[in-house]
Chains A and B, each alone.
Chain A
C-alpha cells in the first residue's frame, strides 16, 4: 500500500465567505468535528473540543451555544470526560428534541473532587486540577 498525501480541494463555495448569501441557511448548534471535510450537514452532533494544560490544571473547552447551564451533563470517569445533553424544546409549531454527546480522553491524574466547570457566552470550560503526583516538580541536582 502506498500512502499519498491528501491534497485539499481548492476552496469551494462552501469555504468562501460569500458576499451574496444565496445558500440555504445552515443553523446548527455548533460546528462538528467533520464540518470542514464533509460540509456542514452531516447528521451527527458531536461538538468540537479543545484540550489545554498548564502547570496545575487541564482545561477542556467546548462550544455549546444556546444551552441551558443546568441541562449540560458532565461526567468524568476513567480519564474520559463526557459532556452530554438532551433537551426537548417546545415552540409554537410543536416540539423539537435535541441531544448530543461528546467524550474526550483526559490525561491520568486528575483530582476528581476538584473538577469545576464554567459556561459563558456559549462556551463550556471544564477545569480539571492535576493531582499532586502529576504536577511538575523541581528537582535540584546535588
Chain B
C-alpha cells in the first residue's frame, strides 16, 4: 500500500491543509447491469466516505474515524498513516443518479449502474 504526501488545496475556511493519503486496494467487477467497485478502507465508517463523480472521474475519499487515543504510547508501529484517496476514470457511461454506496467492516461497496444505452441489448430473432 503506498503512502503519498499530497498537498491538497481543499480549502476548509481559508487554510489549505496537508494530509497524508493512502491509496487503497480495490477491485472492480462488472456484470450486464452495473460495475461493482470494492475498496478496502479499514478504519473508515459510514460517515467518513465521500464519493463524487465529475464527468468521467470518480473520486473516492475515506476519512478514518479511529484516532489513537491520548495516552497510548507506541511500542511498535507498522500500519500506514493517512486517509484514503482513490480516483478512477470511468470509460463507460454510468447512471449517476442510481449510484449506491455501502460501507461495512472497512470495505466500501460501490454499485455503478450502467447507463441504459451502454447495456447489452438482447435482440430477438423473429
Contacts and interface: CB of A to CB of B under 8 A. Distances in A.
Interface residues of B, number: 41
A122 interface: yes
Interface string B54-87: 0000000000011011011111111110000111
A66 B104 CA distance: 7
A40 B1 contact: yes
Given A121-B45, A121-B66, A123-B106, A15 B4 contact: yes
A48 B79 contact: yes
B106 A63 contact: yes
Contact of B87 (A19, A49, A50, A66): A19
Contacts, number: 129
B125 interface: no
A48 B25 CA distance: 15
B42 A123 contact: yes
A28 B40 contact: yes
Given A35-B1, A50-B77, A121 B105 contact: yes
B2 A52 contact: no
Given A121-B44, A122-B41, A122-B43, A66 B79 contact: no
B40 A29 contact: yes
Given A17-B4, A17-B85, A65-B106, 15 more contacts: A15-B3, A15-B4, A17-B23, A25-B27, A52-B75, A63-B42, A63-B43, A66-B104, A66-B107, A120-B45, A121-B43, A121-B44, A122-B43, A122-B107, A123-B43
Interface of A: 11, 14-22, 25-31, 33, 35-36, 40, 48-55, 58-59, 61, 63-67, 104, 107, 119-123
Interface of B: 1-4, 6, 21, 23, 25-28, 38, 40-45, 65-66, 68-69, 71-80, 85-89, 104-107
